[in-house]
Structure 1
């Protein structure tokens, strides 16, 4: 069953149940109130008749028929019944009233009786008859007017329910259409995306900001993210294939030369082995970086702990000095506070920035440490070729190199800064570049201070 039919069925059934409950309560309460009022009125009248009969008995009067006629209700009957259920006096304007069955009661009695669909108010009082026996004076009144009023109320309630139910069904159908239209549009759009492969968005009407609008807006945002990720994936595959094509071509060319002349030319053998080894190492490093960068797209997992950033910088600088025989000067401007960070990721970040500075500069590299009111920072400064202003906003792009003609051995794969940006973002820090062509580049990384009790949204 479709949702639209479910909504209509559910709303209709509940509306009918509520109407039955409310209208039924109104009908029965109104009926009880009317009949109770009629019964009380007949009781008062019966009490007056009883007093009059008792007075007549005490005065030895015998014309009870005239007395009963004087108190006879417009649409009723008065009779005096013995213990044998026989009538000793009876007064009624309609003969049919005399046929109403009776039962002797030796105590006061009142009730509403329904005979052939018509309600009757019956009230009886016991009294002592002229011969000393106990008889029952019964006053009965046919409640036709009350029945007509109650029947009219029933018709009015039924018509009102019908008039409510029809518009409710109509507007329920309209409401289900309003609710389901965005869902149907979303389903249609998803099917078109599946069939054509083109990312499409919903056309949002108005600016109501209700849940349906929010759902459509969220769907469009999801499509934007999917399209953006797809474009990134396509660009990544394109760039990766382009970057891997060169070392593979070099390896293939040298392998082909080795196959043809390698054994005859020792100098070619040595050159080919070196070239193949170098390109293989570069391909390995590039592949590892690409895999790491791809994994970083899905919220980098951090193992945070309290880290002494000063000791970490000193260790990284020392390791780089020993590995590459380069001078790295450490400038401490008063860094004493710890940071809450992943030690291995911060080491990786330091190595990426120091390695970049080493590659693009022959002079000494400076590593500066410091802190402000709420943050700790370190900056890596080199005196290399610098970065043109127009390229500063592209340095985090994958495989991007400032100098396209630069030697690949010194320039790397162009993935390091993308990884560095991912690490800094995961730590909720900032990374800033300032550079001047021919003068050098400074990279400043700022991390928030913290302790092990610090709550970080990226920590898992």
Structure 2
């Protein structure tokens, strides 16, 4: 069943149920009020008849004439003995003479129905002229009240129909209003599936309801998918371009070996060395590309409390021993604990130190600083620096400031992209300041441990 049909069915059933409950309650309330008023009126009239009859019996007056004087309009008065026999019946309606008699030894007030016509019947015990106990029964036809109730019922039914028809029409309009954005969304998704184009849905500027939010979320998702697709295409293009050069070199040297390798030993050594270098560079590049792919997939981080100062000092020591470079560590603060994945954080520090080592010859300065909410790590070198035009693209994949120098150092232009992806995953920030010929400073800012506790308490 379609949502539109479900909405119409639910709204119709709900409305009909409410109308039945309300109108039924109104009808039953008026039914009780009308018949209670009628029976109370007949009961009061019966009390007057009993008082007058007792006085007439005591004085020996004409009871029949008295009762005829008290006869209600469209009613009947009769005397019933304990043998359920009528000794006296007074009525101007022949139909009421056929009503069955019923003896009761106590006073009663009730409504009896004969041939679908209601009658108010009041029975009161009475001492008759012969000294026996009889029942004085006063009966009055309530057909007028019944017609009034039927008119009320007809009015309620007509009013319900008058309410129900516009409600169904408005319910249909409401379902269309609600489902139009969903239908538009479905149509757009089918079109995307058929054509492969990233298409957005048009949003009304006047509406800011949940349907507008759903459409806006869908458009944002399309933007993200389109951006990811473009990044993927760019990544494949860049990777193909970068891998093309080492593969060409390897193919060329392999062809030379097939032709002249056995005849020229010096060419053999050169070819093997070149092939080995390019293979090592391809391996490193492939590992870095896989690392980026994992970061794009938002790999789950194994976060814990990490001492940023300790991580930085160990990394600096390793670089100093491996490459005999002078590295100075400066700390500004006391506590440098951050909530991070330790291995990922080490990777960021190694990437920054390795870049500073490759593109500078002087001393490298690493500064660890704390504030009330964050810890920061900056790596400053005194190298060749980066131009303003290159700074804007420094975090792009495969981008290298000095391509000739990068070729010598084995760089593929992926290190800073990996570092930025890791820092972003930790909710931190990374920025670069540089001047050509003066040096470069890379700043990484990460949230402290207590910020994690605050966010957890807020959640």
Shift of 1:300: 3.9
Match of 2:390 in 1: 391
Q: Deviations over 1:54-107 (max 9, x none)?
A: 11000012x222111111111111111222332222221211121111211121
Q: Deviations over 1:102-134 (max 9, x none)?
A: 211121111101112211000111111111111
Shift of 1:336: 4.2
Native 8 Å contact 2:406 2:412 kept in 1: no
Match of 1:440 in 2: 439
Match of 1:7 in 2: 7
- Is 1:38 aligned to 2:7, yes or no? no
Shift of 1:379: 1.4
Q: Deviations over 1:382-441 (max 9, x none)?
A: 122211112212111111112345441326111110111122222222222110011111
Match of 2:63 in 1: 64
Match of 1:161 in 2: 160
Match of 1:198 in 2: 197
Q: Deviations over 1:154-204 (max 9, x none)?
A: 000000110111011101101111111111111100000001100111111
Q: Distance in 2 between matches of 1:14 and 1:337?
A: 63
Aligned residue runs from structure 1 range 96-111, under 5 A = 96-111=95-110
Match of 2:223 in 1: 224
Native 8 Å contact 2:4 2:179 kept in 1: yes
Native 8 Å contact 1:306 1:340 kept in 2: yes
Aligned residue runs from structure 1 range 1-400, under 5 A = 1-61=1-61, 63-400=62-399
Q: Distance in 1 between matches of 2:129 and 2:451?
A: 108
Q: Distance in 2 between matches of 1:295 and 1:325?
A: 33
Shift of 1:26: 1.1
Shift of 1:141: 0.3
Stretch of structure 1 that moved more, 301-310 or 9-18: 301-310
Q: 5+ residue gaps in structure 2?
A: none
Match of 1:449 in 2: 448
Q: Distance in 2 between matches of 1:168 and 1:252?
A: 78
SS of corresponding position for 1:387:
coil
Q: Distance in 2 between matches of 1:116 and 1:255?
A: 116
Q: What is the root-mean-square deviation in Å for CA atoms of aligned residues? A: 1.8
Native 8 Å contact 1:378 1:444 kept in 2: yes
SS of corresponding position for 2:399:
coil
SS of corresponding position for 2:453:
coil
Q: 5+ residue gaps in structure 1?
A: none
Q: Distance in 1 between matches of 2:371 and 2:205?
A: 48
**Paired positions, count:** 456
TM-score calculated relative to the size of structure 2: 0.95
Native 8 Å contact 1:207 1:213 kept in 2: no
Native 8 Å contact 1:125 1:136 kept in 2: yes
Native 8 Å contact 1:401 1:411 kept in 2: no
Q: Distance in 2 between matches of 1:333 and 1:3?
A: 63
Q: Distance in 2 between matches of 1:357 and 1:167?
A: 76
Stretch of structure 1 that moved more, 406-415 or 23-32: 406-415
SS of corresponding position for 1:8:
helix
| Counterparts in 2 of 1:333 and 1:342: CA distance versus 1, 3 Å | same
Q: Deviations over 1:210-239 (max 9, x none)?
A: 111111111111111111111111111111
Shift of 1:333: 4.0
Shift of 1:8: 0.9
Shift of 1:334: 4.6
Q: Distance in 2 between matches of 1:339 and 1:323?
A: 27
Q: Distance in 2 between matches of 1:373 and 1:91?
A: 105
TM-score calculated relative to the size of structure 1: 0.95
Q: Distance in 2 between matches of 1:194 and 1:17?
A: 44
Native 8 Å contact 1:306 1:451 kept in 2: no
SS of corresponding position for 1:394:
coil
Q: Distance in 2 between matches of 1:7 and 1:48?
A: 61
Shift of 1:453: 7.1
